[in-house]
Amino acid sequence: MNNWHKLQILVLIQLIFFLLELITGLMLRSLTLIGDSFHVFSDLLSLGVAMAAMKLAKAKPDARYTYGLRRAEVLGALINGATLLYLCFTLIIQAFNRFFNPEEITNPKFLAAVGLAGLVSNILGLLVFQDGHDHGHSHNGGGHSHVHGGSLLSGAAADEEASAGLMPSEALAAEERRLLEEQHSYGAMDESSSHINHHHSRPREAIKSKRPLNMDGVYLHVLSDVVNNIVVIVLGLFVWLTDFSWKYYADPALCMLMAVLITWGTIPLCVRAAKVLLNAAPPSVNAAEVKDDIKSLPGIVNIHDLHIWQLNDEVLIATLHVAVSAPPDSFSELSRDILHCLSEHGVSSATVQPEFVGIANGSRECVAYGNTSSGGLATDA
């Protein structure tokens, strides 16, 4: 059963329980139950957004969206998280008002029974969702590289781009064959290669994700429902089994507690999604360490314009300019070392622009190969 079918099952479960909770909450005049029903409704919306994002993410690249819509699922996760935060805010406001005007819960037994039914249904949904949670994967450099001018793509990244429709053009493919033939003329890299004995400043660390960020948002919704159902059960039992004069204040108190807990769990999801959309490097990658690691390679004079960012929650991309003292005809071997170094930090696709440094009249001269950077805009050299 794939994720799409799992989402369809969850939609059916959540729709049935939403109607049950909403009708029961209105009959019993329970703010907690009504609030929980709206939370279930937000789950339905999140499932709809997740399903739409999954479809959009499969769209092929075109002239306008050159990466396709690979970030649709990240955007869906942010929308789901923001919607959930808004609902929590409204629940807190309503709970605050209910403290001044508490209402009697007329049938606490039925309230607890509905909470128990919801707990069972959400645990069932959680089990359905958990069934395939570990199908996520991380992308790292493989045992070979593809060189497109100044662009280096690991084997896994090439597969990733192929699945997205990002195939190289005929011209780039021809250039790749030419460069690979040139590399083979130098002979295969042996144990004396400069990078074999190169020690990285940190161990290999990939972008590890058990599930896509979009599915993480759905999972958070379902998991928070389990907590909400437990709160409803506790409220029903408390009102039913106690005779405290203030027992009806437990309804807004538990509602507020529930909203705070959901908010606490939702904020990290929103932050993660926002960081991806803002092209931030993942926490597992330290750009300064990557730079120091590459600079320690023999032949590297300097590095600048290093950018590391995520296309989505699985694919990590890097672009950089390297000033090298090696001649242009030997850069192909050094480029393999750079690619290997980046892949050790979890980068799956990298574009490297070499700048060949020479000595003239006692000063350094730098000649760029391929493209040069001008004010952050790439221009042909």
**Are 208 and 138 within 8 A, CB to CB?**
yes
Domain 3-135+210-277 CATH assignment equals 3.10.450.50: no
What token pair was written down for 227? Answer: 């907590």
pLDDT tens series, the chain, 381 aa: 677 888 888 888 888 878 887 887 788 777 767 876 776 787 787 788 888 888 888 888 888 888 888 889 899 889 888 888 888 898 899 889 888 888 888 788 888 888 888 888 888 888 877 665 444 444 444 333 333 344 444 333 444 444 444 433 344 344 444 444 444 443 444 433 444 455 555 544 444 555 677 777 778 778 777 878 888 899 889 999 988 888 889 888 988 888 888 898 889 889 999 999 999 888 888 888 999 999 988 888 889 999 999 888 778 899 999 998 878 887 888 888 898 889 888 898 899 999 888 644 444 455 555 443 333 333 333
Q: β-strand 316-324 against 300-310: which pairing, if any? A: antiparallel
| Per-residue DSSP letter, 191 | T
**Are 248 and 104 within 8 A, CB to CB?**
yes
Q: What is the pLDDT of residues 280-314, one digit of tens each?
A: 888 888 888 999 999 988 888 889 999 999 888 77
- Predicted TM-score of the model (pTM): 0.67
At residue 46, the 3 state secondary structure works out as helix
Q: What is the pLDDT of residues 344-354, one digit of tens each?
A: 888 988 999 99
**Are 145 and 351 within 8 A, CB to CB?**
no
Query: How many residues appear in the chain?
Result: 381
Amino acid residing at 143: G
- Cβ neighbours of 308 (radius 10 Å): 23
What pLDDT, on the 0 to 100 scale, is given for residue 200?
53
What pLDDT, on the 0 to 100 scale, is given for residue 270?
92
Could you state, in order of their start, the residue ranges of all structural domains in the chain? Answer: 3-135+210-277, 145-203+282-380
Instruction: In whole angstroms, give the CA distance from residue 193 to residue 209.
Output: 33
Q: Measured between alpha carbons, how far is residue 242 from residues 112, 239, 254 in Å?
A: 14, 6, 16
Instruction: In whole angstroms, give the CA distance from residue 299 to residue 329.
Output: 13
The domain defined by 145-203+282-380 folds into Alpha-Beta Plaits (3.30.70)
Q: What is the pLDDT of residues 228-261, one digit of tens each?
A: 888 889 988 999 998 888 888 988 898 888 888 8
Q: With the C-alpha atoms ordered 115, 116, 117, 121, is the resulting torsion angle positive or negative?
A: positive
Q: What is the pLDDT of residues 157-175, one digit of tens each?
A: 444 444 444 433 344 344 4
